[in-house]
Structure 1
Amino acid sequence: METFLETDRLLLRRFRMSDACLLVQLDGDPRVMRYITGGPPEFSRQEIEADVLPAYLDYYRRSARYGFWAAIEKGSRDFLGWFHFRPAPGAEADRPELGYRIRHASWGRGYATEGSRALIAKGFAELGVERVEASTMAINAGSRRVMEKSGMRRVRAFTADWPVRIPGDEHGDVEYAITRQEWASARDLGLPPVQT
């Protein structure tokens, strides 16, 4: 297992083609997909095998800094979901976007925050990142709280042009971010990267 990042409870490792069933199960939960597709899976198993996983693997060939990683719980070795840390299409290379998708059974245990904080710290301390960004639907209170607990601040509200209408998307979307300077200042003061 090639580990990209390790935290107290998590291992973030590279995806493998044999992980298709894990992604099918994750995306097959309507609760997980609520704020992404409105409930249905985003991709079929065939699309995951032919397009999604090959795209994830291509990130590893192109860059050691960015990509998508399977989140594994250290003690049980269970698949919890995934994180991505990579520039959005057309964005500057030193401004990656943070994202996560966690199994419903693992919600409320701090895994998304733990992984997000670790990726943000790795980005600033090791990868030459200047700013980390993340976005979600305005009504997705759980994801917004993860961003806040990871030290990010709300920087704007906007309306994304989603291909699928989802109940609640009429309230728009929000973007959160943290800069290298903000992260370093909080660390130098001994403050946890948490907003209340």
Structure 2
Amino acid sequence: MKIHLETDRLIIREIELTDVDDFFELDADPEVHKYILQTPVKSKDEIVEIIKMIRQQYQDNGIARWAVTDKVSGEMLGWCGIKYFTDKLNGHQNFYEHGYRFKQKHWSKGYATESSKAILDWAFENLNTDKIYAITDLENIGSIHVLIKLGFELKEVFQYDEKLKCNWFELEKYNLNA
């Protein structure tokens, strides 16, 4: 299913190979990776492989992360979306997880909240689920603020791996805010 959502300021669509330059700007920034278990990319070839993986998720699951673009300039500001987890994580398996990542220059402008609201509305209308989860680093105050604003509830802290503890958030279908 092709995704095309619009908000007042944004267009949300599938990530394409033509997004390589913007995606590289996003994922090469060490600050963007501060609270996630990945290291910044070093080449556009890595981005091409990431985009191919995301596009495969569209094929396999019908959903994945989507490009968030500025309606006026067309710039890809970052990505936001729902990922389907088939692997077991924190006692859950086969669940939907919400996430987002934006270029540092676009932080604190409300893009994560605005795009998330549109995507979560779409997800609850189109996916066969009553719950969507989100995971954040314990210290990622900005992301925690966005999730709470959207109506997610902090359910617990869990051990993601041997080094990292994370917050486990849950959003029920009828609790969506913003």
TM range (shorter): 0.7 to 0.9
Consecutive unaligned residues in structure 2, runs of 5 or more:
88-92
Deviation, 1:37, is: 4.7
State the identity %.
30
What secondary structure is seen at the aligned counterpart in 2 of 1:31?
A: coil
Paired position in structure 1 for 2:31: 31
Q: Is the 8 A contact 1:3 1:11 kept in 2?
A: no
* d(CA) in 2 for partners of 1:158, 1:43: 30
Paired position in structure 1 for 2:167: 174
Paired position in structure 1 for 2:90: none
* d(CA) in 2 for partners of 1:135, 1:83: 14
1:13-33 CA-to-partner distances (Å, cap 9, x unmatched) read: 111122222221111112211
- Between structure 1 and structure 2, the one with the greater Rg is 1
How high is the TM-score relative to the length of structure 1?
0.79
- In the alignment, structure 1 residue 75 sits paired with structure 2 residue 72: yes
* d(CA) in 1 for partners of 2:126, 2:57: 18
Consecutive unaligned residues in structure 1, runs of 5 or more:
184-192
* d(CA) in 1 for partners of 2:50, 2:125: 29
- Give runs of aligned pairs for residues 100-115 of structure 1, distance below 5 A: 100-115=100-115
- Give runs of aligned pairs for residues 11-26 of structure 1, distance below 5 A: 11-26=11-26
1:114-162 CA-to-partner distances (Å, cap 9, x unmatched) read: 1111111111123232211001101100010111111111011012117
Paired position in structure 2 for 1:150: 150
Runs of 4 or more consecutive aligned structure 1 residues displaced over 3 Å after TM superposition: none
* d(CA) in 1 for partners of 2:79, 2:15: 9
1:99-127 CA-to-partner distances (Å, cap 9, x unmatched) read: 10001111111100111111111111232
Give the total of aligned pairs: 172
Q: Is the 8 A contact 1:133 1:176 kept in 2?
A: yes
How high is the TM-score relative to the length of structure 2?
0.86
Paired position in structure 2 for 1:188: none
